[in-house]
Amino acid sequence: MSGYQHELPPNISKTSPAPEEAREELLQQCEAIWKQMEECQSKLTMSGPETLPETDVQLYLLMMQVKALTAEYEQWQKRTPEIISDNQDVLLAVGKEELEKIAQELEMVLSSVQAKNKKLKKDLEKEQNWLDGQQKIVDALTSRQDELKNQLTAFSEKRVYQDIAGKLYKVRAHKEELLSALGDFLEEHFPLPQEQENQSKKKKGQSGKKSVQLMTLHEILEILINKLMTTPHDPYLVLEPHHWPPYIEMLLRYGIALRHPEDPKRIRLEAFHQ
């Protein structure tokens, strides 16, 4: 029940008949209106059907419709509001009925508005939760960004240089270890030919010529590695008498070294790192 219904007059029972005077008055008014309608109907019947022109029938109908609407508009402008009845009981019953209809319509509107308001509150709560979650993510990312900026500021060029120098030192130390291990392995498994040295000494004593000092396999490989790394555009080694031929042939046979395509006296190390 709406808040203003307590101000309405007492209910008039639908089962109890209205006062006789009010009923008689309403019946008389209805009969008068009915007589007016009959008179209008008889006038329309007597006027007979109106003949339409052969051309522009649609235009003619539209013009007649405009005339009818204009006449109706003028009648409504001239007409003054009429009271249903002067009887207070009739007016009270009609007013109460209209107020009850309005109250029902307003209650329906209120119920609909409340339902929409409830739904909007739920949607607003969901949106607020989503917004809070997004704000937390933004705050976390902003905090992380500030931390990275601080770290980047503290990470100076001197520190970068020191890190690179330390890594380079470790690489060089590791390289020396590998070369040392390679030298020990080659010295153990690929020693210089003793007989060749002895024969060279004998020939030196007989002919008086200087003997050729052969280069170890370790030294040959180290030269080839250095040439490949320092001068990659020209990594070839020119073969000389102190390069023992069996070592050279072994390197070529096992694919460790390659000959120059135009000069067989020049070899290079296979680029295993590429």
pLDDT digits (tens, 9 = 90+) for 56-97: 778 888 888 998 899 888 888 887 766 666 677 777 887 888
What torsion, rounded to 10 degrees, do the Cα atoms 234, 235, 239, 242 define?
A: 130
Tokens standing for 152? Answer: 């980047």
Any residues with CB less than 8 A from the CB of 173 and at least 6 apart, and which? none
Average the pLDDT over 93-113 and give the result: 91
- Give φ, ψ of 12 to 5 degrees: -100, 120
CA distance 179 to 222: 8
**Residue the block writes with tokens 């020191």:** 162
Given a cut of 80, whether residue 101 has pLDDT beyond it is yes
> Which carries the bigger pLDDT value, residue 105 or residue 26?
105
Given a cut of 80, whether residue 113 has pLDDT beyond it is yes
**Among 4-13, 86-95, 141-150, which is the least confidently predicted range?**
4-13
> Which carries the bigger pLDDT value, residue 237 or residue 16?
237
Using alpha carbons, select from 86, 139, 80, 99 the residue that is nearest to residue 3: 99
> Which carries the bigger pLDDT value, residue 208 or residue 273?
273
CA distance 216 to 264: 21
Amino acid 60: pLDDT? 82
Amino acid 191: pLDDT? 83
> Which segment, 38-52, 68-82, 118-132, 153-167, is predicted with the most confidence on average?
118-132
Cα angle at 167 between 219 and 230, to 5 degrees? 35
Amino acid 78: pLDDT? 81
Cα angle at 79 between 75 and 81, to 5 degrees? 145
Amino acid 52: pLDDT? 66
Per-residue confidence band for 180, with pLDDT thresholds at 50, 70 and 90: confident
**Among 124-128, 151-155, 200-204, which is the least confidently predicted range?**
200-204
Quick one: how many helices (H) and strands (E) in the chain? Answer: 7, 3
Amino acid 139: pLDDT? 94
CA distance 252 to 241: 17
Residue 217: C-alpha distances to residues 42, 76, 131, 144, 221 (Å): 137, 125, 73, 57, 6
Per-residue confidence band for 54, with pLDDT thresholds at 50, 70 and 90: low
What radius of gyration do the chain's Cα atoms show?
Answer: 59
Residue 184: C-alpha distances to residues 84, 191, 196, 241 (Å): 128, 10, 21, 24
